[in-house]
Chain A
């Protein structure tokens, strides 16, 4: 039996960090399931999900990674998913939108927008934000998982109003527009739309019928 942990690491970026981290995991008998790395302003951060032999104590894992990565000054933290309350992630009816905001840099903008999204039960699945033009302007792109019941028109108007009140130009757009304009592959409408709009069509009927006993 193996046991899964979520581990994050952070350090000033230098060549060789990932090699050191993976070496320490191999020595612990760990197996990486998923990993994501970001480098921002010279700092390196990793979040990963890895499986270890069940008898391996979490404090041993942290100490060993820290030891092997000592020359890099890596900060390590670890969570056991079994001990956390995880949010249900309903996959049905969720559509991916991008919220973009640009404008004069003022404090509190991400806070106001994210609070409004939380009211609608909209999950922010990714965020990218930076100051541009020597700190005068601010650019933010948020990837959102929007539940099916949310009215895009109303939400868009509200976010635009919220943005303009603090001098931001905000736009909410379904992900399909970005693949259509940037990807040479043929345009595809979201499957959800096809299913929900053509309940009598052949495709939809097939989807609704049970496929086995």
Chain B
């Protein structure tokens, strides 16, 4: 049979190298649910979500069986809630969040993203109330994910919003102190947030999208790692460009899985197909780690000099392979460096070779930012805001998406270990250099103006 080797190599990616569709995310427009009355809004939201997503689970099961590809998660991404609940008070917003939580449970999805506000050019009263409600929302719901776009290359950085978020993140951490501040893992603060992103916590249903749409997030650090191991066995003296080519062709194959599954799920549900996002999203188990890929590229310790260059090459090769595989590539599409979710990164952070500053440098060329980074529980709000401002500045001034998911862990100091369980993993609380020295900067508030886009030297 001429296809035998192709068939066996595809099968190997699934069975042995952890290739999966990490998420099928349905985007749902909730703009039709706007009402001054919180009860009415909630009723409309529940109805809209149920009717859009009631067949999502069975359809995913059917398509997963047809191709023998696991679909690990099903998720929803809704219109940024600040837009539809602008007329509601904080209590009303919490009711809306609980409705989202219950609706997600009813249609059997694990997360629902979109408790979000876009405030890069300024905050509406409604957006401020939404940010104020985050400690209550993220401590009282299970499945709801929140995000705030606080900066963009065209508007600059809204430092008033960043300062407010610094305070709220500490409050979220306190409100979920019994879970090591886990509520903060469900809040993503963005610069240049992509409209359609199937991964959580940062997913929401973007402007200009149809009523309902299917997005796909595929992962596959394990597949890339095994491909590089085979390359090293076959050609021990391979050059870095050979490694980049291998990553690229592997990214192509992985993205194709997402394209096929996404188009078929969308077709069966009778809704448009949106984007496929190939991101190397690690999971804590061995063999599914971006850090292990960096080891294979030749870094004995993560965070050692060369780490930023290696991440840049990896991220770029992943994007190139993905773009050739599908004309619907979108979302984040690159390599994530979430510290607690990646065993090798967590290990390097615990050993001290990977510092917060080096991680920040690496995020300037990777696809997300300071992601799943536990920090000391006694960090002050201004230092927290300043950390976010640094990461957002990288995105704004380099015209790319960056984000933070910083988790102040109550009662823990730098170097302590914290565990969030399951896919969220565990890792060390990372030390912050020169803590408490940024308050005057943050208390200016206001806006960092949009950057110059010419004369870029």
Contacts and interface: CB of A to CB of B under 8 A. Distances in A.
Contact of B3 (A152, A178, A194): A178
Contacts of B69: 173, 177
Contacts of B106: none
A180 B259 contact: yes
Contacts of B252: 184
A171 to B, nearest CB: 5
Grouping DSSP codes into helix (H, G, I), strand (E, B) and loop, the B interface class, with mixed when no group exceeds half, is helix
A177 B15 contact: no
B154 to A, nearest CB: 34
Contacts of A102: 11
Contacts of B257: 177, 180-181
Given A173-B67, A177-B68, A153 B62 contact: yes
A100 interface: yes
B423 interface: no
B6 A178 contact: yes
A201 B254 CA distance: 31
A189 B66 contact: no
A177 B10 contact: yes
Interface residues of B, number: 32
A193 B8 CA distance: 25
A89 interface: no
Contact of B268 (A172, A173, A178, A197): A197
Interface in B1-41: 1, 3-4, 6-11, 13-15
A77 interface: no
Interface range, A side = 20 to 34
Contacts of B105: none
A123 interface: no
A174 B257 CA distance: 12
Given A141-B7, A169-B15, A171-B14, A181 B264 contact: no
B267 A197 contact: yes
B326 interface: yes
Contacts of B65: 152-153, 156, 172
A159 to B, nearest CB: 11
B1 A171 contact: no
A47 to B, nearest CB: 15
Given A126-B1, A143-B1, A193 B14 contact: no
B117 to A, nearest CB: 36
Interface of A: 98, 100, 102, 126-128, 139, 141, 143, 152-153, 156, 169, 171-174, 176-178, 180-182, 184, 187, 189, 193-194, 197-198
11 contacts: A126-B1, A139-B8, A152-B66, A169-B15, A171-B68, A173-B69, A176-B260, A178-B7, A180-B257, A181-B6, A189-B267
Given A100-B8, A141-B7, 6 more contacts: A169-B15, A174-B66, A174-B68, A177-B10, A184-B252, A193-B267
